[in-house]
Structure 1
Amino acid sequence: MSKIKLPVTRYYGSKRKLVERIWNEIENLGLEFNSVLDVFGGTAIFSYYSKVKGKTVIYNDIFTFNTLIGRKLIEHTSNELTYDHAVDLLQPVADRIYLNTIQENFEGIYFTNEENAQIDIFIQNANALENENQRLSAYYLLFQSCIIKRPYNLFHRNNLSMRLNYSGGNFGNKKTWERPFEELFSRFIKELDEFTFENGQPNRAVNSSALNCNEIADLIYIDPPYFNSKGHHTTYHSKYHFLEGLANYGEIANHINPDKNNREIVINKSEEFERPARFLQELEQLILNHVNSIIVISYRNNGVPSIQEISDLLIVCKPGCQIHTIDLGMYGYALNKTNKLNNEFLIIGTNDPLVA
């Protein structure tokens, strides 16, 4: 079978380079399942792979911007937004009154003044699109373009100066950072044309916290936030608050934290699964919410809690529990200098004993 092509996500902790090996581990156990719930959906890589495999997919994520991406890739089967139409969305429409929220509140923080103006116009034009297929495609273009134009693809620092003053070295992609939105749109339109497809199943994307997600599926995939053993942790909300703001554009002005140098937008800020001290307690509740399903937890060693602690928790509810190592090998995380010391682990639990 030819290798499955996947969207090029730039999301922190994305399993894009590991998802095939994760899926193979699940298949090698001979587990039978027709539906998948991806509880921490992110940019939908595991959900997308499950869709390619013909499963009924329920994508879930706490963030609105991720859910919009999930709806495009998982629910929708085509892309109806053309490149020319996307570029037109960067231009103001006659007689339409526009807010200047990004220009007024984020000058010199993430993007140039010109780019801020384009973002203001584009998101309001996208919100006005009546065709849902086109509207979701427009969101996809904007979110992916904003991510790729950011150093580290993140928004937890106000480091526009790093991008503008970058002069080379071991890190960075100055050419990509400076590519205009029009050029990036061409790239992402091609992605949508290639990666939106029909798999014959009633796939859905929902927007809920993990603990409040009441969806039911044969297999629950849990890829929670990772806490390294050194105690350094930046929440996913902090990493992507700007995009969550764009997905709730009309609410941005009233939800900016003026005490933060990066003017964090606190919309949908949550501490669920973002505090190491509560992680195991919350994970136990999540497992109990889906006690009748196959549970697949993806986590890394050298983290808090340990793989053994997670396994010990799962086996209380699932008599069939196995730990599988996915050697990172040549795969690594861009911001981690010690990848060779880390491995990805799958902790898989079923209601019946698993055959080793």
Structure 2
Amino acid sequence: MPEIKLPITRYYGSKRKLVGRIWNEIENLGLEFDSVLDLFGGTAIFSYYSKVKGKQVTYNDIFSFNTAIGKKLIQHNSNELTYEEAISLLEPQQGYPYQKIIQENFQNIYFTDTENRQIDIFIQNANLLENENKKLSAYYILFQSCIIKRPYNLFHRNNLSMRLNYNGGSFGNKKTWERTFEELFLRFLNELDEFTFDNGRNNLAVNFSAADCLETADLVYIDPPYFSSSRNHTTYHSKYHFLEGLANYNRILEHINHTKNNREITINKSDQFEKPSTFLTELEQLILRHNESIIVISYRNNGIPSVQSISDLLVRCRPDRQVFTLDLGLYGYALNKGNQFNNEFLIIGTNDPI
């Protein structure tokens, strides 16, 4: 079978490079399933791969901005937004009372003054679109463009100066950071044209915390936050709060934490699955809720809690079922390329012995 092409993702912990191997391990076990629930959907790579494989897919994520991406790639099957329409969203409409939330509250933090103005205007124009397909495409190209223009592709630090003063080194792409939104929109619209498709199923994207999602499926994929044993944990909310703010633009002002240098936007900030001390208890509750499903958990070998602890938990929750821990090989993340001893593991609990 030809290699499956996937959208480019710069989301922290994305399984884009591993999803083919994860899927192969599942198929090698001979597991039978027709539907998939991706509980920590992120930028929808596992959901997208499942869609390509013809499964009925339910994507879930706690964040509104991720859910917009999930709806675009998983629930919708086409892109109706043209490049000309996308560029027009950067221009103010005559007589419309535009807010300047980003310009007035995030100066010199993430983007330049010109870019902040463009973001303010674009997101408000996008919110005026009545066509959901076009609106989701607009969100997609804005969120992806904002990510790619950021050092480390993250928003947990006030470091616009790093981007502007960068003189070369072991990370980053100054040329990409300085591309205009107009340039990047064309890139990501082309991506949408290539990767949106209809697999003949009624796929769905929903916006809940994993603990509150009531959707079910034959196979439940769990790719929870990872807690490194070697450094302090930075939550996914902290990494992407700015995008979550843009997805809830009219609520930003009342949720800006002015005590933080990066002006964290607290919309949808949650402790669920973000504290090592409560992680196993929350995971146990999640597994028990999906007791009739195949459970597939992705995790890394040097995290807290350990892979063994998660594996033991799955055995305790489902004593009559087998668990497989699969080493998916060596790899590195952008922020941790030097540690070649980080392995990704797959823990699978099935309904019947294999």
TM-score, normalization by structure 1 = 0.98
What are the superposed Cα offsets for residues 260-288 of structure 1, whole Å, 9 maximum, x if unpaired? 00000000000000000111111001101
Match status 1:321 vs 2:287: no
Cross-structure match for 1:116: 116
Structure 1 segments, 4+ long, off by >2 Å, are none
Give the number of aligned pairs: 352
What are the superposed Cα offsets for residues 161-197 of structure 1, whole Å, 9 maximum, x if unpaired? 0000001111110000000000000100000000000
Instruction: Tell which deviates more after alignment, 338-347 or 127-136.
Output: 338-347
Following the alignment from structure 1 to structure 2, what is the Cα–Cα distance between the partners of residues 59 and 344?
22
Cross-structure match for 1:18: 18
> What secondary structure does 1:211 align onto?
helix
Q: How does 1:148-187 map to 2 (within 5 A)?
A: 148-187=148-187
What are the superposed Cα offsets for residues 199-242 of structure 1, whole Å, 9 maximum, x if unpaired? 00010000000000000100000000000112421000000000
Cross-structure match for 1:196: 196
Following the alignment from structure 1 to structure 2, what is the Cα–Cα distance between the partners of residues 303 and 72?
32
- Supply the AA of the counterpart residue of 1:273: F
Q: CA distance change for structure 1 residues 338 and 302 in 2, over 3 Å: closer, same or farther?
A: farther
Q: CA distance change for structure 1 residues 279 and 231 in 2, over 3 Å: closer, same or farther?
A: farther
What are the superposed Cα offsets for residues 28-83 of structure 1, whole Å, 9 maximum, x if unpaired? 00000000000000000000000000000000000000000000000111100001
> What secondary structure does 1:335 align onto?
coil
| Gap runs ≥5 in structure 1 | none
Match status 1:236 vs 2:236: yes
Cross-structure match for 1:271: 271
> What secondary structure does 1:262 align onto?
coil
- Supply the AA of the counterpart residue of 1:324: L
Following the alignment from structure 2 to structure 1, what is the Cα–Cα distance between the partners of residues 304 and 110?
31
Following the alignment from structure 1 to structure 2, what is the Cα–Cα distance between the partners of residues 268 and 250?
14
Match status 1:334 vs 2:334: yes
Instruction: Tell which deviates more after alignment, 186-195 or 229-238.
Output: 229-238
Match status 1:77 vs 2:105: no
> What secondary structure does 2:172 align onto?
coil
- Supply the AA of the counterpart residue of 1:109: I
Following the alignment from structure 2 to structure 1, what is the Cα–Cα distance between the partners of residues 332 and 20?
15
Following the alignment from structure 1 to structure 2, what is the Cα–Cα distance between the partners of residues 31 and 254?
48
C-alpha displacement at 1:338, in angstroms? Answer: 3.8
Cross-structure match for 2:97: 97
Equivalent pair of 1:7/1:195 in contact (CA under 8 Å): yes
Cross-structure match for 1:209: 209
> What secondary structure does 1:339 align onto?
coil
Q: CA distance change for structure 1 residues 231 and 162 in 2, over 3 Å: closer, same or farther?
A: closer
C-alpha displacement at 1:337, in angstroms? Answer: 3.8
C-alpha displacement at 1:316, in angstroms? Answer: 1.6
Following the alignment from structure 2 to structure 1, what is the Cα–Cα distance between the partners of residues 10 and 123?
21
Following the alignment from structure 1 to structure 2, what is the Cα–Cα distance between the partners of residues 147 and 138?
14
| Gap runs ≥5 in structure 2 | none
Following the alignment from structure 1 to structure 2, what is the Cα–Cα distance between the partners of residues 107 and 53?
44
TM-score, normalization by structure 2 = 0.98
What are the superposed Cα offsets for residues 241-263 of structure 1, whole Å, 9 maximum, x if unpaired? 00000000000011000110000
For the aligned residues, what is the CA RMSD? 0.7
Identity of aligned residues (%): 74
Q: How does 1:268-307 map to 2 (within 5 A)?
A: 268-307=268-307
C-alpha displacement at 1:351, in angstroms? Answer: 2.2
Match status 1:247 vs 2:234: no
> What secondary structure does 2:210 align onto?
coil
Cross-structure match for 1:219: 219
Equivalent pair of 1:101/1:120 in contact (CA under 8 Å): yes
Following the alignment from structure 1 to structure 2, what is the Cα–Cα distance between the partners of residues 289 and 257?
35
Following the alignment from structure 1 to structure 2, what is the Cα–Cα distance between the partners of residues 33 and 315?
21
- Supply the AA of the counterpart residue of 2:223: D
Following the alignment from structure 2 to structure 1, what is the Cα–Cα distance between the partners of residues 108 and 192?
31
Equivalent pair of 1:321/1:353 in contact (CA under 8 Å): no
What are the superposed Cα offsets for residues 107-150 of structure 1, whole Å, 9 maximum, x if unpaired? 00000000000000000000000111000000000000000000
C-alpha displacement at 1:339, in angstroms? Answer: 3.2
